[in-house]
Every structure is written in structure tokens, then in C-alpha cells.
Amino acid sequence: MSVYRSGHKCHKVTAWLYNDTCWSNLSEHLPARHIRDFLRSRLNHNGFVLRLLNPYLKAPDFYHRFMEDVCAWQNDPAISWHKGEWVCGDCNVQFVKQELYSWFVRRLVQDRHKFKPNCPYGYDCVRQTHRIGHAEQLNHLCDPEINLYGSRVKR
């Protein structure tokens, strides 16, 4: 017998299952301090970005708010599960990994964060990792326009 509805198929059945009644308990599966490593490229070494992210991560109901946001904002029918569906911790971690960056940018927009002009190297920028002044003066939560070799990124 399966606890899952059609749609999402967990690759394993374990005691660690989550849905919208207990998303906040995901912090036992994935401590919030590790989540920053799911940001894109070098953003997890940008001190300014981490200062923006930390207050969200420190909220005891971080996962619940994150999942509610992503479910409310998603318009991709391929996102494979519904709020009430029981999904294992590993699949939830993959989901957080996949959605964190987009969620964070959209959450900042909603919270009226004043974005600085974009750094042309975007999240790949090396200077953001060791120059806090640079990290503060330009926005790095954006796609690179120039790659690290100085060529324009084709889209």
C-alpha cells in the first residue's frame, strides 16, 4: 500500500516523511545553516548575500514559509507534488536545492529589497567572495552577462 497519490514518486519509503503539516521539522533532516550552500555558484561565499539570507533561515518556521511560498508561486505543472502529499526527506532536500535561489530572489522582491545595479559577472563573480565592499555595491543575485574569461554570455 502506498501513501502517495499519483504524481510524485518517492524513490524510497522511510519513516522520514513530510507534508504541509510538518515541513518545519525538515530542519532535523537539513539544518538551516547548510541551506546556504544551495545558492547558485559562489553566492554562498558572498557575505552580503548571506546577511540578507540569514534572517529567513533563522526563523523557526523557515521551511514552512519557504514551501508555502514555492507552492503558491509555482506555475510549472511539472513540479511533481502537492502540499498535502507525504514526501521523503531526501526528495524534500532536492526540492529545496532546486528552488532556493529563485525563491530567495522572489522573496526579496516581495519584501521590497532595494537591489543594486547588477554585477556583470552575476553569481559567478569571484570578487564578491573576498571584497565585502564589492559584494555590497553590486547585485550578484543575477545571471552573469560576462563569463570569467571576459566574453559575453550567449543566451
Which stretches of the chain bind Zn ion, using CB under 5 A?
A: 10, 88, 91, 119, 121, 125, 127-128
Which lies closer to Zn ion via its Cβ, residue 43 or residue 88? Answer: 88
For residue 25, how far is the Cα from the chain centroid? 17
DSSP-derived secondary structure letter, 35: G
Query: Min. distance of Cβ 92 from Zn ion in angstroms?
Result: 8
Query: Min. distance of Cβ 69 from Zn ion in angstroms?
Result: 21
What is the grid cell recorded at 75? 506555475
Q: Torsion-angle region of residue 122: left (phi > 0), alpha (psi -120 to 50) or beta?
A: left
Rg over alpha carbons for the chain, rounded to the nearest Å, is: 17
Question: Helices then strands (H, E): number in the chain?
Answer: 5, 2
Query: Min. distance of Cβ 17 from Zn ion in angstroms?
Result: 8
Query: Min. distance of Cβ 59 from Zn ion in angstroms?
Result: 25
For residue 72, how far is the Cα from the chain centroid? 15
Which lies closer to Zn ion via its Cβ, residue 106 or residue 127? Answer: 127
Which lies closer to Zn ion via its Cβ, residue 35 or residue 46? Answer: 46
| 124-148 core/surface letters (b: 16 or more CB in 10 A; e: else) | bbeebbeeeebbeebbbbbebeeee
Query: Min. distance of Cβ 131 from Zn ion in angstroms?
Result: 8
Q: What's the CA gap between 16 and 151, in Å, rounded?
A: 46
Which lies closer to Zn ion via its Cβ, residue 11 or residue 154? Answer: 11
Which lies closer to Zn ion via its Cβ, residue 3 or residue 71? Answer: 3
